[in-house]
């Protein structure tokens, strides 16, 4: 790994951590600095058709509505893989981010967990990395008895590209 790619790797993993912190704090106005204005986020919860969210406001609006019922919500990154200089472009990167959500329902007090994976595309503009495309897929969640979903095998071996959108 070269010095430039090491710095880019660190910058992208900082972006992922910034996302986790922003969601955990429910700081929705901060999405404008971490998402490109035309970002697309596809959310596949394992139930129904995937949702397509556009731009920082579309993404934050969906997430804020989805987690408002939780008195406690913590977004926890578990592991990440990042590839920089995708296609020889020093301003393009791709990655996967495995996550867990720790949640307590405000009304019932019940604790639940959700596990998922993001397939991401990032772009550096004006010296700053931002999300330009994300595809989230649920892997499992607890709602009493755990539900486990099929692992997303839509990626070709060795590729971090988000496919199927």
Query: Per-residue pLDDT tens for 15-68?
Result: 999 999 999 999 999 999 999 999 999 999 888 899 999 999 999 999 999 999
Report the chain's mean pLDDT, rounded to a whole number.
Answer: 90
- Percent of the chain, pLDDT > 90? 78
Q: Which residue has the higher pLDDT, 153 or 104?
A: 104
Give strand pairing partners of 117. 98, 137
Rg (CA), the chain: 16
Give pTM, 2 decimals.
Answer: 0.85
Task: Name the CATH topology of 3-148.
Answer: Nuclear Transport Factor 2; Chain: A, (3.10.450)
Tell me the mean pLDDT in the region 81-94: 96
Q: What's the pLDDT score for residue 152?
A: 66
| Mean pLDDT computed over 5-18 | 96
Domain residues of the chain, as ranges?
3-148
- Give exposure, 85-120, as e/b (b: 16+ Cβ within 10 Å): ebeeeeebbbbbbebbbebeeeeeeeebebbbbbbb
pLDDT number for residue 47: 86
Using the predicted structure, report yes or no on whether residue 147 has a pLDDT greater than 60.
no
């Amino acid at each position: 790994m070269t010095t430039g790619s090491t710095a880019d790797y660190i910058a992208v993993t900082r972006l992922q951590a910034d996302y986790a912190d922003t969601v955990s704090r429910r700081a929705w106005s901060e999405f404008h600095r971490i998402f490109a204005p035309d970002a697309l986020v596809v959310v596949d919860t394992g139930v129904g058709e995937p949702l397509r969210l556009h731009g920082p406001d579309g993404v934050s609006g969906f997430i804020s509505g989805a987690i408002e019922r939780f008195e406690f919500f913590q977004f926890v990154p578990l592991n990440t893989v990042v590839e920089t200089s995708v296609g020889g472009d020093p301003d393009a990167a791709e990655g996967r981010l495995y996550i867990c959500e720790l949640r307590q329902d405000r009304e019932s007090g019940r604790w639940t967990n959700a596990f998922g994976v993001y397939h991401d595309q990032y772009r550096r503009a004006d010296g700053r990395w931002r999300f330009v495309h994300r595809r989230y897929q649920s892997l499992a969640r607890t709602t009493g008895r755990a539900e486990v979903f099929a692992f997303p095998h839509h990626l070709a071996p060795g590729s971090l590209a988000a496919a199927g959108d």
